[in-house]
Amino acid sequence: MPHADWNVVITTETGAEAFHRVRKQLAVFGHLERTDYWNVLVLRVDDVHQFLESVHGLATDDRAFASAISRVMPVTETFNFQSPEAFEEHACRIASHWLPHLRQASFHVRMHRRGFKGRLSSQHEERFLDHFIVDALRAEQSDARIDFDDPDYILAVESVGQRAGMSLWNRDHLQRYRLLKLD
């Protein structure tokens, strides 16, 4: 499957019942597709923040749904890539847009990769983007710092095959929307 135009990645708990429950309940939000990866769906929605609020409400009201869904990750920027170098080029360009938010903040990058095994390392790309951001902000004499314990922001990176998406989440988002499960 090409998964050409997603902006949400959903992971379900193990088991066919959980997968089918999540698939059925999320299909009403937009174009939902299965992927080649175990328990992973991709979805295209018009407004990722509105979608996240709706799914948060659904999970609060429906315990069976909340138990079936493992993780939901909307992204605000997406791109396709053919190589690790192209991935890093696109990711740096997008991360640059968020530098004003990170100037005086603590943050870290968290990546969830599906596919491109042996060619793209989640840990390497997390470190690469962490250092790219710190170096870019250091030139501005910023107090930005990498913090894994209690960050002001987490920059999320998702990849499914040769498509990736990124989003920036602040502390309030992370506390309210537990389904993001970034750490």
Structure tokens at 115: 């596919």
Can you give the pLDDT of all 183 residues of the chain as single tens digits?
445 689 999 999 998 999 999 999 999 999 999 999 999 999 999 999 999 999 999 999 999 999 999 999 999 999 999 999 999 999 999 999 999 999 999 999 999 999 888 888 999 999 999 999 999 998 888 889 999 999 999 999 999 999 999 999 999 999 999 899 987
Q: What is the pLDDT of residue 117?
A: 85
